[in-house]
Chain A
Amino acid sequence: MKFKFPLRKSIDELEASANKALEQCHYKEAISFFKDLLKQERRTQWEHGLAEAYRQRAGQVADKGMWQEAVILWENYAKLSPQSVPSDVYLGWLAQAGQFPKLAGLLASQGPAFEQGPLGRRLAEAMAILALQNEKLVAAFPKEHPIAKHHPLIKQAISAYCAGRDGESEEALKHIPSRSPYRNVRTLLKALLLMGQDRAAGLTLLERVEADSVCLGFARLLRQQGKPDGPGFSAGLDLPPKQQAFIHKINGYTKAQLNLLRDAKKFAKNPDHRMVFNTLLSNRGLLGETACRRFCACLLVDFPEGMDAFQKAFGKLSAFERQRLLALHEETQGDYPQAAYYWRVAAEELAKRPEQERDRLDEALIFRRIAKLADHDAPNIAIAALGDSLKLDPGDQASYVTLVRLNEKMEAPKEAQEWLENGLKHFPKDVELLTLAMNAASRRKAFKKAAGLAKTLLEIDPINSPARQLLISAHIGHARKQFRAGKFSLVQQELEQARSLDPHRRNASLCMLEGFLALLQQGQEHATKLLAEGWRLAGGDLCAQFLFNIEALSLDYSPSKVTSLSPALDKNHTANRTELLGLVKLIDRYNAEEKKHLPDALKPLKTILKRSFKQLGLTEDDYFNLGQAFARSAQFELLNECATAASRHFPSWPAATYFHVFARCKGVAKRATPKEENSLEYAVDRAHRNKDHRTAMLIENFFRELDGDRDLENDYYLPPGFEDFDPRMAPAMMKRMDEVENMPRAELIAMISKALPGMPLKNMSQQELLEMAAVMMLGELGIGLEKVLGALSPGGPAKKPPKSR
């Protein structure tokens, strides 16, 4: 076996390694490399390198508390840099290492001039203070040195102060001159003496401690922690032990205060509700009964387990208060169904009170809280809770608005209208409710009612833009009718009324209608001007052409015959995103106003639109809005084109699948082929997975329509597995399923635990609870458990037909 000797590095390599180690803060290695280099040859730059490595390494080891090693390394550095002066940190290391004779010798060797410089003064002061604890250090100074000379005086002053002999202490301090290294200690002692009579004055005196003094930190600490209004508790947590003990003395803490501090320190860094709660309770004498009660009550929300201890200490909590705390606790945990349950019980507790003590407003507020918690996930619970709240306090505008919104969301327009009318009875001049009523009337095509509401709204709020727009549209609508009937003076009146509502000339349709009227009354030139103005206001050429077409058609003009009056649309035009989205708005508007003319108005734009759908830069949202507009207005050819372009940009996009099927079926669900149904089932799953709720809802509505058609044919739909059951059972089963799904969590747990005591129900997910409850409830209908379980889809209990797909 051959033995390999390590290759020796050349001088150049060694130098490079040394410099690299120094640069990378590997000082130990740098020292070794520079030493090796210096063994070869004495070069000044290597000596400097070694000195620097020693100096930096000294700092490194001092950081680890290795004072002795730091001192040696610093001294090695000092040997290589004879011009260096002792630094204050070196002095500190010497003191920490207990090398007092060296410390004194060092300062004495520097001469009086050094002690008058900034560093010298600081070192002399530090040495003087260290000498208070180390008599050996005093002995190392010549007798005439100020440290040796003034040391007995300051010791006497300290002893006298600590023994309460203030006069003696003050007398001793008088003999310490203002240039003594003990001058700042003298100021500190004077301040401490003064604090005994006047704390604030003493603290002010501490400001006289010199800025470069080693006593400055101590003076600051005293000023901060000795404040008459008490120290910031957390600020004093990290103090070293002696300074902390000193502060406790200066603040005159009692044993009880010190115990509280000790306990408080434990939880300051690691807060634990139980520990905090117990500390507060056990120190309530010191903290004050009222303050302690208040803080403990706050804590109960996070720590309801403390309720019994709280009651023992401060007296019984009412049943309502207990439920309130539990509800707030569940809210902090994010368990809203459970919170709603406790709120309901709390409201029941309030309702139990005698009539004269009953607080209906509090009850109503609690029901509104339940509604707020359920608003997103369980709108039907929110609706019921708000209904309950209004029985107790009918004068809450926000509740009516929310009820309208929630009922509209739940597709219950009748109920929404009822709440709207109820709300308007209580708040007839409320802008928000009037606006909702106006929009609802428009949707119902009750245009007269809508216009009336818009007028009322404008009386209350003259700058209400939706009301203004609605009135303008109403006048324009009438104008169109009169135009078709040839009653041009009435057209003029309607248009003038509309114009008075749009004095800044922002409405493109109005300008165009004025243009068409001018064609008959004032001639082509004026008409062309007005039509051009309308074109400009329409929001792009595509929208302008559409507007022109539809307004012409609504007046029984053929667009092709009047096309010379309008600016021409370039056949190669590609509509940008803004134009396309503008068109979406226009289609939706005219779908309500002039639906029958939509196909003819859009027909000349098809080529441009098809080209525009293909452009990059359209988002899923844009395609969705376009698709919805075409679906709503039954523009199936354009819908299909739009879906095709969207699926090229966004493959497997569920909405594109839906739009394709919808377009092919021309919006009639029962025309869907089994293959299409299948692809929609995949699409709805994808939509749910992608959290694309709106697409999922559209597809589920489509299925609902499809199933509705089948119900008419097949009596009632039952989930898979139930085919051999009497279909008359289905409605009862669906009703039960609804009850289960809408039941609050707490009620679910209570119901199941009656049948299955001892089950760890609280740890179960909502889905698991629902499954168990479904099994129990369906069992009551006489359906065997096996069948019921078999019919439960993997995601939960058997659902209503559309969801069970």
Chain B
Amino acid sequence: MQTPFEILEVAEDAGDEAIKKAYLKKVKEYPPEHNVEAFQRIRVAFEQIQTEKQRRSHRLFHHGTPDFDRLLRQALSPGAIQRPDADLLTGALVEAALDDLLKTQTPS
């Protein structure tokens, strides 16, 4: 889950002005009449860190929900391709072709 700072794309030590500017930029990017959901996210994020007090409260009392999928995606970014052996390639191909062939459950 993204933090409000990530949603608004501002540094965690950004001040009121910078946050307001980032918020207005984001609202222009995602106007409510075009993307209600994105706008809501932006609005909620802004309301969480709009003032110094809110930012402090956020830092003290908010604990993010760890997004493991995102973390793992970063850790598992592809490297240089390793050539598989021929048996693995044909095996995977046959496995996928049979899956595809059998995906229609009732013969017609």
Query: Interface stretch among A138-146, A246-254, A460-468?
Result: A246-254
Q: Which residues of chain A (194-244) have a CB below 8 Å from chain B? A: 195-196, 199, 214-218, 221, 226-234, 240, 242-243
Determine if A645 is an interface residue (Cβ-Cβ < 8 Å).
no
Docked-complex contact A133 and B78, CB < 8 angstroms: no
**Would you give the shortest CB distance from B93 to chain A, in whole angstroms?**
6
Within 8 Å CB of B99, what residues of A? 217, 240
A215 CA to B84 CA in the complex, in Å? Answer: 18
**Would you give the shortest CB distance from A467 to chain B, in whole angstroms?**
28
Determine if A328 is an interface residue (Cβ-Cβ < 8 Å).
yes
**Would you give the shortest CB distance from B97 to chain A, in whole angstroms?**
4
A362 CA to B71 CA in the complex, in Å? Answer: 30
A230 CA to B70 CA in the complex, in Å? Answer: 10
**Would you give the shortest CB distance from A31 to chain B, in whole angstroms?**
16
Assuming the contacts A58-B107, A92-B101, A361-B53, asked whether A231 and B61 have C-beta atoms less than 8 A apart, the reply is no
Docked-complex contact A92 and B96, CB < 8 angstroms: no
Within 8 Å CB of A361, what residues of B? 52-53, 56
A511 CA to B106 CA in the complex, in Å? Answer: 80
Docked-complex contact A133 and B84, CB < 8 angstroms: no
Docked-complex contact B107 and A232, CB < 8 angstroms: no
Docked-complex contact B76 and A252, CB < 8 angstroms: no
Docked-complex contact A159 and B86, CB < 8 angstroms: yes
Partner of B101, one of A58, A91, A286: A91
Docked-complex contact A132 and B90, CB < 8 angstroms: yes
Determine if B34 is an interface residue (Cβ-Cβ < 8 Å).
no
Partner of A158, one of B66, B68, B89, B97: B89
Docked-complex contact A295 and B100, CB < 8 angstroms: no
Q: Which residues of chain A (50-75) have a CB below 8 Å from chain B? A: 55-56, 58-59, 62-63, 74
Docked-complex contact B68 and A126, CB < 8 angstroms: no
Determine if B11 is an interface residue (Cβ-Cβ < 8 Å).
no
Within 8 Å CB of A188, what residues of B? 93
- A contact residues, total (Cβ < 8 Å): 85
Determine if A326 is an interface residue (Cβ-Cβ < 8 Å).
no
Docked-complex contact B96 and A217, CB < 8 angstroms: yes
Docked-complex contact B78 and A252, CB < 8 angstroms: yes
Determine if B95 is an interface residue (Cβ-Cβ < 8 Å).
yes
Assuming the contacts A87-B107, A242-B95, A295-B66, asked whether A365 and B102 have C-beta atoms less than 8 A apart, the reply is no
Partner of B78, one of A164, A226, A396: A226
Docked-complex contact A55 and B78, CB < 8 angstroms: no
Residue-wise interface mask of B (46-65) relative to A, using a CB-CB cutoff of 8 A (1 in contact, 0 not): 00000011001100110111
Within 8 Å CB of B107, what residues of A? 55, 58-59, 74, 87, 89-90
Docked-complex contact A218 and B75, CB < 8 angstroms: no
Determine if A576 is an interface residue (Cβ-Cβ < 8 Å).
no
Determine if A584 is an interface residue (Cβ-Cβ < 8 Å).
no
A55 CA to B107 CA in the complex, in Å? Answer: 7
Within 8 Å CB of A196, what residues of B? 81
Query: Interface stretch among A257-265, A413-421, A426-434, A685-693?
Result: A257-265
Q: Which residues of chain A (639-690) have a CB below 8 Å from chain B? A: none
Docked-complex contact A252 and B96, CB < 8 angstroms: no
Assuming the contacts A162-B89, A233-B76, A243-B96, asked whether A328 and B101 have C-beta atoms less than 8 A apart, the reply is no
Docked-complex contact B79 and A253, CB < 8 angstroms: yes
Within 8 Å CB of B72, what residues of A? 233, 260-261, 264
Q: Which residues of chain A (282-327) have a CB below 8 Å from chain B? A: 283, 286-288, 291, 295, 298-299, 301, 324
Within 8 Å CB of B61, what residues of A? 328, 365, 369
Sampled A-B contacts (11; CB under 8 Å): A196-B81, A228-B77, A232-B69, A245-B88, A249-B81, A250-B84, A252-B81, A253-B76, A264-B72, A295-B66, A298-B64
**Contacts from A to B (Cβ < 8 Å):** 55-56, 58-59, 62-63, 74, 87-93, 95-96, 122, 125-126, 129-130, 132-133, 155, 158-159, 161-164, 185, 188, 192, 195-196, 199, 214-218, 221, 226-234, 240, 242-243, 245-246, 249-254, 257, 260-261, 264, 276, 280, 283, 286-288, 291, 295, 298-299, 301, 324, 328, 361-362, 365-366, 369, 396
Instruction: Give me the 7 closest cross-chain CB pairs, A-B, nearest first.
Output: A252-B79, A218-B96, A92-B101, A246-B92, A251-B78, A233-B72, A214-B97
